[in-house]
């Protein structure tokens, strides 16, 4: 067998052919990756739709099975209408403004939700929230959102401080504790923020940190009372994580409501 002598021309042609093969392989690989990403996106959308449908079914079931009443305190949040809409899927709402809320308003309800704010601040005008401090410590299930979170922290002696800059928009949040309020929520998730004040550290021994961001503590629960607070806005987060926070809180309330109803019927 005669060995063909290599010339600069044949070497160049072989190199060109090799480069074409590499380019074709890279193109094919890129197309495969894109196809996989499209499939992944479609799967995530399908999953999201199914979870949304499940939440809608659960919310209808919750309203049909439990005649729950929730006291919703309006602390002048720009997202108040969204919070109201989310909660109304699960229970009847009794809405009271910040200026009018009293501890006795809790007597006819099964849970309380403290909305975000914007008009007042717990560190600058702490006396504006004196009745809400009492509600937080009363033993009724409470969920505090944004300013509501800060009201909870302040009520239990934790410092609420002005942050170096206003936190606005979607933020990356990391779960650091396991709790029923964050059930079925990923370790890392995005949520809507809108605040200039926050809680950096816990100095007392009454609250437990459940989630953090790069800026501040994002979620807490009380060690013995059914009290939870989230610094972010689940009602405005436009994802399943936000919806699940509210849904999980409702599930907690349902169990307590069911126990109380059973006791009354005995």
Q: Give the residue numbers marked as catalytic.
A: 146, 233, 235
Closest by CA to 135, choosing from 113, 158, 159, is 113
What's the burial of 195, exposed, middle or buried (CB within 10 Å: 0-12/13-18/19+)? buried
Residue with tokens 């305190």: 73
Cα angle for residues 119, 218, 247 (degrees, 5° grid):
90
Tokens of 114: 């403290």
For the chain, report the end-to-end CA distance as a whole number of angstroms. 101
Exposure class string for 129-164: b at 16+ Cβ within 10 A, else e? bebbbebbbeebbbbbbbbbbbbbbbbbebebeeee
Q: What angle do CA 233, 190, 123 make, to 5 degrees?
A: 40
Q: Is 227 left (phi over 0), alpha (psi -120 to 50) or beta?
A: beta
CB 210 within 8 A of CB 248: no
Three-class DSSP category at 246: helix
Helix (H) or strand (E) segment spanning residue 204: none
**Residue 14, token pair as written in the block:** 């072989």
């Amino acid at each position: 067998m005669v060995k063909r002598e290599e010339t600069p021309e044949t070497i160049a042609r072989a190199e060109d052919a090799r480069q074409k093969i590499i380019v074709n392989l890279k193109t094919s690989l890129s197309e495969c990756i894109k196809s996989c990403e499209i499939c992944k996106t479609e799967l995530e959308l399908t999953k999201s739709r199914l979870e949304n449908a499940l939440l809608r079914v659960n919310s209808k079931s919750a309203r049909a099975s439990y005649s729950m009443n929730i006291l919703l305190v309006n602390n002048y949040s720009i997202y108040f209408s969204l919070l109201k809409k989310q909660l109304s899927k699960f229970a009847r709402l009794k809405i009271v403004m910040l200026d009018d809320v009293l501890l006795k308003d809790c007597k006819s309800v099964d849970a309380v939700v403290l909305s975000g704010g914007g008009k007042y601040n717990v560190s600058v005008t702490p006396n504006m929230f004196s009745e809400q401090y009492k509600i937080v410590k009363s033993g009724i299930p409470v969920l505090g959102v944004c300013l509501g979170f800060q009201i909870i922290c302040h009520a239990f002696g934790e410092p609420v401080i002005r942050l170096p800059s206003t936190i606005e928009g979607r933020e990356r949040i990391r779960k650091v504790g396991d709790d029923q309020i964050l059930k079925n929520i990923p370790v890392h998730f995005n949520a809507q923020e809108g605040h200039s004040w926050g809680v950096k550290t816990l100095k007392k021994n009454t609250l437990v940190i459940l989630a953090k961001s790069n800026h501040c503590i994002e979620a807490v629960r009380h060690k013995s009372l059914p009290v939870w607070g989230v610094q972010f806005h689940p009602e405005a987060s436009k994802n399943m994580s936000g919806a699940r926070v509210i849904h999980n809180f409702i599930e907690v309330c349902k169990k307590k409501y069911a126990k109380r109803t059973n006791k009354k019927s005995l």
